[in-house]
Amino acid sequence: MAKKPQIPLKDIMAAIDKKDRGFYNRLNDEQKKAFGAWMMMRYCSSVQGRDAANYIFMTNELVNYQFMEVSKHPELQWLLLSACGVGKIQFHPYLKPPNARKKKSKVFDFVYDLFPHMKHEDINNFIELNTKEELKQLAESHGYDDKTIKDIFGK
């Protein structure tokens, strides 16, 4: 069963939008431990509507700037987040958290070495769109020897 969040996201975003400076201080100890400024920063900067540019700019300039320097001061992080609000409730779309556990394969590393300018998502799409044989031919055309090709692709 999914664990219920300590602080509802809509309450946090409403407090940021309304510039509620005392919101963090009203949280109990368990809720304060559950508060994650990094994720709230991501949600704060994602607003749909005419105030989107303001949220992006303010979040980047106030919260993101020197973020690690104030990471030991969650109340200060909250105050910076609350300064980004415009005084009225905004729509903050759901953001999927990044998946840090995703492991890269040898094939991924091979393609990345050839095309370092490509985004990770584009590399994954490139690998899916090409067959193993086509990728092997690409390696051969770039001067990879048989042993290295076998190490990357197997068999």
How far lies 142's CA from each of 58, 63, 120, in Å?
A: 46, 44, 21
Supply the pLDDT for residue 19. 94
Q: Structural domain boundaries of the chain?
A: 9-82, 106-153
pLDDT at 127: 92
Q: Using one digit for the tens of pLDDT, what is the confidence trace for 6-45?
A: 888 889 999 999 999 999 999 998 888 888 888 888 888 8
> Contact, 123 vs 116, CB < 8 A?
no
> pTM above the 0.75 mark?
no
CB 77 within 8 A of CB 63: yes
Which residues of the chain carry a pLDDT beneath 70?
1-5, 97-103
Q: How far apart are CA 101 and CA 42, in angstroms?
A: 19
Half-sphere exposure of 118 (CA within 13 A, CB side): 16
